[in-house]
Amino acid sequence: MKDNLMMIGEIAEFFGVSRKAIRLYEKKGILKPAEVDAGSGYRYYSADQVRQLNALLELKALGFSLDEIKTVIDGETTKEQLLASLEKKRQAWQEAVDAASFKMECLDNIIGNLRNSQGGVKDVKELNEMTEEERAWLLVKLVCVEDVRAQKALSEAIWL
C-alpha cells in the first residue's frame, strides 16, 4: 500500500470483482485511479474511489447500465432526474417480481394438478409408460398457459 492508497488487486479482491472490470470502469471514465505509477503502470485508489466503486457496484446490481452510473457519479443528473430513474428501475423490478409471481402460480397449479390427478390425468407413476404423444397431451392438460385461457375466453365471447 502506498500512503493510504490501495492497489487495484486489493480493491478487486475486497469487492469480489476482477481487475479487468475495474480497468473497464476506468476506461469508461467512471472510476479514475487517484494515482498511476509512471514506471510500473500500477493503479492506486483512495478511500473516495473505493466508495465510488461501492456505489457503482450497488447501482449495477440494481440494474443500472454503466452509462447511467457514469452520469450519476459525474453529477450530470439532477435530483429529480435521479429520482425518476430510481422509480423507473423500481417499476422494472416490480414487473419482474409480478412475472415471477405469475410463474410461481402456474407451477403451483401444475403441482396441484399432478398431485390430484384431476381431469382424467394418469397417475405420475405411469409417466414413463406413456407414449410421447400421451405425455404431450398430459402436459397440455397440466400446464398453466395464460394465452390459451385468453384465446378460449375470446372465442367464447365471439360465439355468444
Q: Cell numbers for 59, please give them.
A: 447501482
Say whether both 50 and 111 belong to one domain: no
Instruction: Return the pLDDT at 150.
Output: 54
Neighbours of 48 (CB within 10 A): 9
Say whether both 38 and 106 belong to one domain: no
Residue with cell 425518476: 84
Neighbours of 135 (CB within 10 A): 14
Domain containing 95 equals 79-159
How far is residue 78's CA from residue 22's CA, in Å, rounded to a whole number? 26
pTM value > 0.85: no
Say whether both 89 and 149 belong to one domain: yes
Say whether both 67 and 85 belong to one domain: no
Instruction: Return the pLDDT at 133.
Output: 80
Q: How many domains does the chain have?
A: 2
Residue range 41-90, pLDDT digits in tens: 889 999 999 999 999 999 999 999 999 999 988 888 899 999 999 999 99
